[in-house]
Structure 1
Amino acid sequence: REDVPIILRMDAGFYDDELFETCEYLKIGYLCGGKQYRNVLDEATDAVDWQPLKKADESNRSWMYTDMRCQQRSWRKARRTIFSTLWEDDGQYVLGDLCRDTVIITNLGMGEPIDQQLRNIGREQWLAAGSILELYHDRGTDELTNRALKTFGHEQLPFKRFNANAAWYFMMVLGNNLFEAFKEDVTEAVIPVSVYADTFRRKFIDTAGKLARHAGKLVLKVSKVDFMRLRLDRLYEKCQAGLPQLC
């Protein structure tokens, strides 16, 4: 589908001009770790438009980066190159000889079809050099999907255990998707969506309570601490509201 943008995030092990040309022929985007060749280092040394980037997480790291064009001897054309260096780690400045430099080769923001695809879905900010640097840093998160699936499938929930039969894997995939949807649609305000099944079970499912009948109604009673911590009144309202249909 031409309306669905595809972006490959690769480390320097995939640095290859033929691969870049294939991605460009297929009209898909790519971010690939580059090599610190002499011409790249010379371009970075001469650059004057360095910009700061501070990562919005607990790592408290900051980078300086510059956006340029570089062309290797065997390439047919110059490609967009983003050179970055780590200059602050955990709030401490990094000495020059200890800085970690990174080179990124990309075709984003070069006027190729992938640029318009991103604009069509409201992701034009991904064409900026700072956003590209963040996307490249987060490339390892793609592998966490497998971990989330395995963690969920092997977690012993208190109300159900799947038998190791032919349907086990497919039930695990379906259950994990429902689990992720529940975190997104219901508990996002009280539990981070990124938590794995074991943490979710400990914080949400393993909550003590009891069912009691009162005035002809069935009432779930929990401690005040758990009620305030999980904001159960808000979660109940979300469950009662019409949630988006899952396709």
Structure 2
Amino acid sequence: MKNVSRKTGIDKIEETDDNITGRGGLAFFVRYLTNIGIFSLLIGHFGDLRKSRKGLPVEDLFRQIFCWFLDGTSRHISWFDELAKDAGYAGTIEQSPDKMASSHAIKRFLRSFGIFKTWIFRKILKKMFIWRLRIANPAVIYIDIDTMVMNNDDAAGREGVGPTYKNTAGFQPLQLTWGRFVIDAVFRGGKCHSNHGKTVIKIITELVNLVRKEYREDAVIVLTGDSGFSDQKNFEAFEKLGICYAFGGRITKDIGKVVTSLAENAFGEFEKGKQRWRFADFGFIYGTWNMFRRLIFCQPVYKDGQMLLPFDRAETVIITNIRSDTVGDDMPEELTRLTDPANIVALYHSRGAAELVFRSLKDFGFEQMPFRKFPPNAALYYMMPVAFFLFEAFKEDILAPVIPLESYAGTVRRKFIDIAAKIVSHAGRITLKLTSAVFRRLKLRKIWEACHRAVPLIC
């Protein structure tokens, strides 16, 4: 008797009116955003942008823009026209099909932001920062400051686009990061260097005052940054605020003379993995400064397990106010350990993690801005770190059991967002149906329950 094999070939294709989507994971993201109360917060600040009842509610516009960022299928605003035709996508993000925004509606919305209105997004970012601080309750808050170059070299006609230090034309926003989160940002033209104007002192002062008012009055803050921010005015402001700092410094001839005059036993070594650094700790006063500050000179001895020749060792200077005479006994032990120069070297070299945050932000969003005028580009830019903050919080609060926290947006999209689902309406109830294999692999029952247990923002 012949074996009867089941036919597996596809003979034809047909259309269906079933409500099907390939972005089933967005439903969980939207439910999380709703339950933490982010839309209520946004409406409170931006509700007046809706000038007519005929226009789409501000909440719907923000929901669709945040999902557009996370979806990542296209970075063109024209893609909203395609999404507006997809009833399955609309159902997934809990949006009525007739409330889906066209590309023209999105452009009108972004153009309605004046330059002063866009600054409100900074309040949103800092509000979310306090929200996460209260959840994490850290003893020491580590904040890094740096600029992020947004390459718009092929769109030089954009207002604000200018030459950056990376030899490209673009924008160069100043950003503060805490762990994986961007907690404050100032959108600026490409010509604005790291320490441009008084922006650094202003945003750090605002943030420190907010943390001490809304989180803890005795909050211990450690600020890090590169040599682009190395300025006595900045350090004086940080010392007045009572925060600790560790910044890169400029290596001058005078510093070189001090280093060469040190005995060999004045140097210590710090090792991490296959990396090893040689360092020396001393006090120094730059020519224009009015006081001595602690400097730590360091250079790599081994890199990736290979010993470096003396002439091939990059030299770094770290300027800090973390000293045994400034760190009291009542300070957290975590800060007390930082008085050891080896730990300060480790802290400064951990700044690479902040660079990864910028890389992750660009992977989540984009660099090239679509508008000619500065205000709508600023509005779209600020929505990106806000959406990115929500995405990182979603990973931490909801996806941690199934997806590693360090995963980039592209990985989350492939593993969680881009899952097939069917939306069924029956007896007045709407159900999102997913395959059994995906349901079990991603533990979707627990994920859905976690979305409803999320800690809300305190508005």
| Band of TM-score, shorter chain | 0.5 to 0.7
Equivalence for 2:348? 136
- 1:12 paired residue among 227, 236, 247: 227
Equivalence for 1:92? 306
C-alpha distance in 2 between matches for 1:166 and 1:77: 40
Equivalence for 1:107? 321
Equivalence for 1:197? 409
The normalised TM-score by structure 2 is 0.40
Equivalence for 1:40? 258
Shift of residue 172 of structure 1?
Answer: 4.5
Shift of residue 83 of structure 1?
Answer: 2.0
| Local SS of the residue matching 1:186 | helix
Equivalence for 2:370? none
- 2:450 paired residue among 217, 225, 239: 239
C-alpha distance in 1 between matches for 2:329 and 2:452: 34
1:86 and 1:99 in contact (8 A); partners too: yes
- 2:268 paired residue among 34, 50, 54: 50
Aligned length: 226
2:396 and 2:405 in contact (8 A); partners too: yes
1:9 and 1:30 in contact (8 A); partners too: yes
The normalised TM-score by structure 1 is 0.67
Aligned ranges 1:211-222 → 2 under 5 Å: 220-222=434-436
Equivalence for 1:31? 246
Letter aligned with residue 31 of structure 1: A
Is it true that 1:64 corresponds to 2:278 in the alignment? yes
Is it true that 1:187 corresponds to 2:187 in the alignment? no
1:30 and 1:106 in contact (8 A); partners too: yes
Equivalence for 2:22? none
Report the identity percentage: 36
Between 1:23-32 and 1:121-130, the stretch displaced more is 121-130
Shift of residue 94 of structure 1?
Answer: 1.6
1:61 and 1:89 in contact (8 A); partners too: yes
Between 1:98-107 and 1:139-148, the stretch displaced more is 139-148
Letter aligned with residue 390 of structure 2: L
C-alpha distance in 2 between matches for 1:234 and 1:43: 66
C-alpha distance 6-49 of structure 1, shift in aligned 2 (>3 A): same
Equivalence for 1:125? 337
- 1:78 paired residue among 270, 292, 311: 292
The Cα RMSD (Å) is 4.1
The structure, 1 or 2, with the larger RCO (C-alpha pairs under 8 Å, 6+ apart) is 2
Equivalence for 1:161? none
| Local SS of the residue matching 2:407 | coil
Letter aligned with residue 98 of structure 1: D
2:285 and 2:293 in contact (8 A); partners too: yes
Shift of residue 86 of structure 1?
Answer: 0.7
Shift of residue 77 of structure 1?
Answer: 4.0
Please list every run of 5 or more consecutive structure 2 residues that lacks an aligned counterpart in the other structure.
Answer: 1-208, 213-217, 367-375, 425-430
2:421 and 2:432 in contact (8 A); partners too: no
- C-alpha offsets along residues 2-59 of structure 1, whole Å, 9 cap, x if unaligned? 533444423234444444334323323222223252343135544445132215xxxx
Between 1:128-137 and 1:177-186, the stretch displaced more is 128-137
Letter aligned with residue 108 of structure 1: I
2:421 and 2:433 in contact (8 A); partners too: no
1:209 and 1:223 in contact (8 A); partners too: no
C-alpha distance in 1 between matches for 2:397 and 2:308: 41
1:8 and 1:29 in contact (8 A); partners too: yes
